[in-house]
Amino acid sequence: MFESLSDKLSAVFDRLTRRGSLTEADVNEALKEIRRALLEADVALDVVRSFADKVRDRAVGAGVVKSVSPGQMVVKIVNDVLIETLGETTEAIDLAAKPPVAIMMVGLQGAGKTTTTAKIAKRLKERHGKGVLMASLDVKRPAAQEQLAVLGRQVEVDTLPIVAGQTPIQIARRAMEAARLEGYDVVLLDTAGRTHIDEPLMQEMADIKSYASPHEILLVADALTGQDAVNLAKSFDERVGITGIVLTRMDGDGRGGAALSMRHVTGKPIKLIGAGEKMDALDEFSPQRIANRILGMGDIVALVEKAAAAIDAEEARKAAARIAKGKFDLQDLCDQLAQVEKLGGFGGIMGLLPGVAKMKDQIAKANLDESLIKRQRAIILSMTPQERRNPDLLKASRKKRIAAGAGAKVEEINKLLKQHRQMADLMKSFGAGKRGGLMGKAAQ
Ligand code: GDP
């Protein structure tokens, strides 16, 4: 999967890997190649643009961590942005509604709609213990309803009995009534496809939607169709409104364009991935896995992550060593707050400082929420370096100046100083008398 894109990116990164340091020119050179590779991989133009901008913003000026090459650093950044573009979390099918919950499947002919309908039915039954009823609303294609019935028998899920001559709406009504009467949890409505998007199809989808009020409308799209799949998703979303996407044929060696663009263009999550013709070949969408496959460089990503963690730990160790010596000034506090912001909370930083996890509760009590962290850093940054190193200098007139500089009140500065004193005392008590203990370990 995505071989061509991965190969192209590899070539860019190989070149970067051989260079000494990451310059703006390096980043621009890499971006040129990345942009070209993405365009060739059928990624939508505006997606490519925003992707490249994000990578540039992060890569230029980003500190290259020790022990990794600049190329590896760019790989890490590209990987992160890929994951963001793909959607960072995996979203499951949403069944949180009053049963019977209707799920409407839409898409073009041959995308794998009927197959996917049966795969989903099997999964909901086996993994979630749901009573599922499937109904084919495709009255255009001869044998479409029969095809679903055959698959239903195969996965042992009930299908609505076929009544010749009914309209899609009549079938939908019958399906919902049967589900209500017979106590099914979920009704899967497999709609008709066309070879291309046309108005009668969209109108039919809109009518079914307004009748059945489906909780989910899943667009089934063929990953091999690249840019077409993106346009398709856009049209279906604008006209009918979709709640998620299922990308089929991800087992083929298609280019990565569709996966990358669809989420960005529609803002709708890719919920599942079809990876084969068998009824079990349905996977949860994993942004990390897809990003790794697009890059084809999972090893490098892992290496960069490890290196980045090593650097963070190195900084934490330095801080811990200072703390162990009883030195914890306002500059240290400011650095720590910056780290906390960067790592997204105290959980991350505490993990890096062995033993300090015990302080978590005390810090939580200090109520350091995000906006407070920002304010506190602003206050410290309004101080002179001398003041940061020696808080005792902070008498009333200096506090007034700092308060004016940070747009804060003098009381806030007093509160911050008090908090700093408490933290410094606490840290000193950890460091003192326990050589080789808590801080000793952290400083080793
Ligand atoms: P529909 O017209 O959209 O209902 O498409 P079908 O469900 O009839 O599927 C068309 C063909 O694609 C069938 O031969 C399926 O077995 C095949 N197919 C569906 N999903 C996948 C998939 O994820 N991978 C592969 N390789 N084939 C698939």
Q: Domain ranges for the chain, please list them.
A: 3-86, 101-286, 301-443
**Rounded distance from Cα 13 to ligand 1 centre (Å):** 36
Kindly give the number of the ligand 1 atom that is closest to the alpha carbon of 107: 3
Q: What sign does the dihedral 58-62-64-70 (CA atoms) show?
A: positive
Q: Is 276 in the pocket of ligand 1 (CB under 6 A)?
A: yes
Residue 377 in tokens: 């850093």
pLDDT higher than threshold 90 for residue 135: yes
pLDDT tens for 160-192 read 999 999 999 999 999 999 999 999 999 999 999
**How high is the pLDDT of residue 359?**
54
Lowest mean pLDDT segment, chosen from 55-59, 109-113, 204-208? 55-59
pLDDT over 60 (residue 436): no
* Ligand 1 close to Cβ of residue 288 (< 6 A): no
CA atoms within 13 A on the CB side of 391: 20
Report how far Cα 384 is from the mean position of its chain's Cα atoms: 40
pLDDT at 77: 81
Of ligand 1's listed atoms, the one at least distance from the Cα of 252 is: 26
| 111 CB within 6 A, ligand 1 | yes
The percent of residues above 90 in pLDDT, for the chain, comes to: 38
pLDDT at 423: 80
Residue-wise pLDDT for 38-54, tens only, equals 777 677 888 889 888 88
How many whole angstroms from 201 Cα to the centroid of ligand 1? Answer: 20
Residue 155 has pLDDT above 90, yes or no: yes
Q: Output the pTM of the full model.
A: 0.68
pLDDT at 245 over 80: yes
For 104, the 3-state DSSP assignment is strand
Two structure tokens written together for 291: 């990003």
Element (H, E) at 245: strand 244-248
Report which residue type is found at 199: E
Ligand 1 within 6 A of 277 CB?
yes
Cβ of 113 less than 6 Å from ligand 1: yes
Decide whether any atom of ligand 1 lies within 6 Å of the 253 Cβ.
no
In what side-by-side order are the strands of the sheet with 282-284?
158-159, 132-136, 186-190, 101-107, 216-222, 244-248, 270-274, 282-284
Six token digits for residue 126: 């086996």
- Name the helix (H) or strand (E) containing 221: strand 216-222
Residue nearest to atom 5 of ligand 1 (CA): 112
In a 3-state reduction of DSSP, which class is residue 62?
A: coil
CB 261 within 8 A of CB 83: no
Cα–Cα dist 427/420, whole Å: 10
What CATH number should be reported for the domain whose range is 101-286?
A: 3.40.50.300
CATH code linked to domain 3-86: 1.20.120.140
The residue type at 116: T
Å from CA of 345 to ligand 1 middle: 45
What would you report as the CA-atom Rg of the chain, rounded to the nearest whole angstrom?
29
CATH placement of domain 301-443: 1.10.260.30
